Amino acid sequence: MSFKVKGRVTDILPLQTGSSARGEWKKLDFVLEVPDDQFPKKICFTLFNDKTEMIRENDKNHEVEVSFSLEGREYNGKWYHNVNAFKIDRLEKGSTAGDQPPPPPYNEDDFMPAKEGDNDDLPF
């Protein structure tokens, strides 16, 4: 199951690396501030291995849309959760419908004039 959320990148944590029985790994966490009524919420997302390159330091304080999945696992009787990001879309100013100005009004010069004697046989 996947989810999407829009918000502002507030923090990018240092890259973590290590090795396991499966080989070398990289992990990068970043924090997204999501508007929620009166009090914005902060969510920490995780990027693994080649996905760590999806976010850059200059994304800080920019609006993005993050596609993510939730994962939970049990270890020694305790449950741990990850919010794994798998796609990040950068949002430009004016990219949402509410931010765009309305289209200009039409005027007579926007339409081609009809020729006299033109019979249009099209039914629409």
Decide if 119 is inside a domain. no
Condensed to tens digits (0 to 9), the pLDDT of residues 79-94 reads: 999 999 999 999 876 4
User: pLDDT below 70 — which residues of the chain?
Assistant: 93-124
- Number of domains present in the structure of the chain: 1
Distance from C-alpha of 119 to C-alpha of 17, rounded to nearest angstrom: 73
Decide if 97 is inside a domain. no
pLDDT, residue 98, reads 46
Which amino acid would we find at residue 92?
Answer: E
pLDDT, residue 101, reads 59
pTM above 0.85, yes or no: no
Which CATH number belongs to the domain containing residue 67 in this structure? 2.40.50.140
Domain residue limits at 11: 3-91
